[in-house]
Structure formats: structure tokens, C-alpha cells
Amino acid sequence: MGYENIRFPEGTKFLVTGSAGFIGSNLVEAILKLGYQVKGLDNYSTGKKENVEQFINHPNYEFMEGDICELETCMKACEGVDYVLHQAAWGSVPRSIEMPLLYEEINIKGTLQMMEAARQNGVKKFVYASSSSVYGDEPCLPKKEGIEGNLLSPYALTKKVDEEYGKLYTKLYGLDTYGLRYFNVFGRRQDPNGAYAAVIPKFIKQLLNDEQPTINGDGKQSRDFTYIENVIEANLKACLADSEAAGQAYNIAYGGREYLIDIYTHLLNALDKDIQPIFGPVRNGDIKHSNADISKAKEMLGYDPDWSFEQGIEAAIEWYKENLGVEVGISFR
């Protein structure tokens, strides 16, 4: 269980794209702790320098500032690399609806160029971030790979196209690709600021500051919130997966289902707050319910997530308290 006992040959080198972002920086940290080499690539378009500053002087870490939309940069980044963990992308369904051309450029062209660079440099495995948004309006729960509905946003479309390219690169060129369909990842270093911030860090910050959060819709929408440690495990285990598992996409979640209004109540209790939320309009492109069947990832990748939502949310709150400089006692009731 977990990833602490995962082992690679000595001298193994990983490339983490989007290494200054939330998921990317956590991957860098985990790999360095395991004792392997990491090359980070980021252009800081959404990532933050403070997320990577702590690694700069580490003897096994190398940082490269660059853009995945430039093929030459992708080629240089993949030199001498064993495994690529491709996290670089622009997230947010609402923002993709506002900026479809930019999402095409970064999430599709950028990912394709990274795959091509990995192929030409003889990379062993190419593991990339997909998304639960590819399920679109498919109503069945839990969500199961192979049963997808109509896509609801440009962001979802970019991730579906990435999966199709991944399938082709495995079939046509022999590059082992593994698409990880993340379900609402949360945890340390996730940005609580801005109009497109994820709901958990945003709520935590607002409640710590005694502000009144806005819940889009009635709060009865559900999500399979997934703590960052589970995502790290999935990425590393995909690197060790059998080639028979390549060219496919996998649900990466805990396999639970939390309602947004219940999460809000959790946070109120944990932070000892009594603040009523504002209920705003439903966000365009959002799905109502999301819950993952993770049996395929368990069988094919050996994925076995340790961290439940309750464990993860407690750890996340502790991290935000320390990093937002707020002293608050935690008690789940």
C-alpha cells in the first residue's frame, strides 16, 4: 500500500512537467524523498516559484524553465529521462469555456509534443494527467472506464483528445502511455486564490478569514475527492506497470462520494466556525455527480489508495493553517 516502498533502479531519472504546480511539486518532493533524480519543467503560467524553491539546491533536482508548446523545449526536457510524469496543463472547466483556443494550444498540442519528445528520446513510460471530466453527462455511478457521455467543456475535450493520442502512441510507436483520470484532487500546496481556485482550499481559506463562501448550485452535487498522496502513488505505480496496461486510461480516486454541503459542514466543525454559505448559480459545464470505480487501476496498476477523504481533509486543513499563518484547533465532530 502507498508508495514509500516503491523501488526503481539506482540512478533512475524522472521528468515532471508542470513541476511548479500543485500536483507536480508534490510529485517532485515524493520522488526526491525516495532517492531518485528529478528534472522539473514549468513556465510558471499557473505554477508558483515558491512551490519549487525548496528543491533548488537538492543534488538530485534539476529545474528547467520552459514551455511545452515549444517542441525544442520538450525534446531537451526528455533527454536522459527514464519516466515522464506529464502534469503540465491548464485546469478549470469555466476558464476553458472562456478560452478554448488557449486550452487547445496547451493541453492538446503541448501534450502531443511531450509524447513525441518522449518517443524520440526513448523514454520508458509516459504517464499523463487526464480528468474525470471526460465522463461528461454520463449519468451512471460509479464512473467506469469505457462508459463516457457527451463532453461538456473544452477542458474535458482536451483531456479526451490526450487519451486518444496516448492510445495511438502506444499502438503505433510503442511508447507506453498511461492516462490517469484524476477525480477532484486536493491537498497541500493547492492554490486557494483566484476565480478558478478549487473548492476545498478556497473554502478553507475563506473560513479561516471569517469570510462567507459561495457554493455554486444547491450544494447537493457530489464528488470523489482524492487526497494528493493517492495521486502520487498512482503516478509511480503506473511507471512500474506492465506494458499490457499501456495505451489506456485509469480512474484515480479513493472511490468515495462526498456531497459539497457535507464537506462545507465538515470544514465548519473542523475550524469551529458558524458561517452560512451563499448559494450561487450552477457553473456552466459542471457535472452533478462524480464517483469512481477504481477496480481497473487496482487490477492493472496495483493502485491501492491509503488516504480516505477524512484523513486527507484533516491533513489539508493542518497544512493551510500553518501556511496561512492561522492558529486554529481541529476537531471533527
Domain boundaries, given as residue ranges, for the chain:
13-190+225-256+292-307
Paired with 177 in beta bridges are 126
At residue 285, the pLDDT reads: 74
| Burial per residue of 186-221, b for 16 or more beta-carbon CB atoms within 10 angstroms, e otherwise | bbbbbbbeeebbbbbbbbbbbbbeeeebebbeeeeb
Check whether 1 has a pLDDT greater than 80.
Answer: no
Task: Residue 61: name the closest of 92, 102, 16, 21 by CA.
Answer: 16
Whether the predicted pLDDT of 287 surpasses 90: no
Contact present, 201 and 152 (Cβ < 8 Å)? no
* Residue 302, burial from CB neighbour count under 10 angstroms (0-12, 13-18, 19+): middle
Q: Could you identify the residue written with the cell 498522496?
A: 229
Q: Which of 128, 135, 155, 264 is catalytic?
A: 155
The class level of CATH for 13-190+225-256+292-307 reads: alpha beta
pLDDT band at 330 (very low <50, low <70, confident <90, very high): very low
- Report the pLDDT averaged over residues 13-23: 97
pTM score: 0.93
- Residue 297's nearest CA partner among 251, 246, 248 is 251
How much is the pLDDT for 331?
A: 37
Query: What is d(CA 293, CA 97) in angstroms, rounded to the nearest whole number?
Result: 28
pLDDT in tens, 133-180: 999 999 999 999 999 999 999 999 999 999 999 999 999 999 999 999
Is 155 in the active site?
yes
**What share of the chain in percent tops pLDDT 90?**
78
| Vertex 79: Cα angle to 77 and 81 (nearest 5) | 90
> Can you tell me the distance from the alpha carbon of 58 to that of 75, in angstroms, rounded to the nearest whole number?
24
Residue 196: its pLDDT value, please? 61
Measured CA to CA, the distance from residue 285 to residue 97 in angstroms comes to: 8
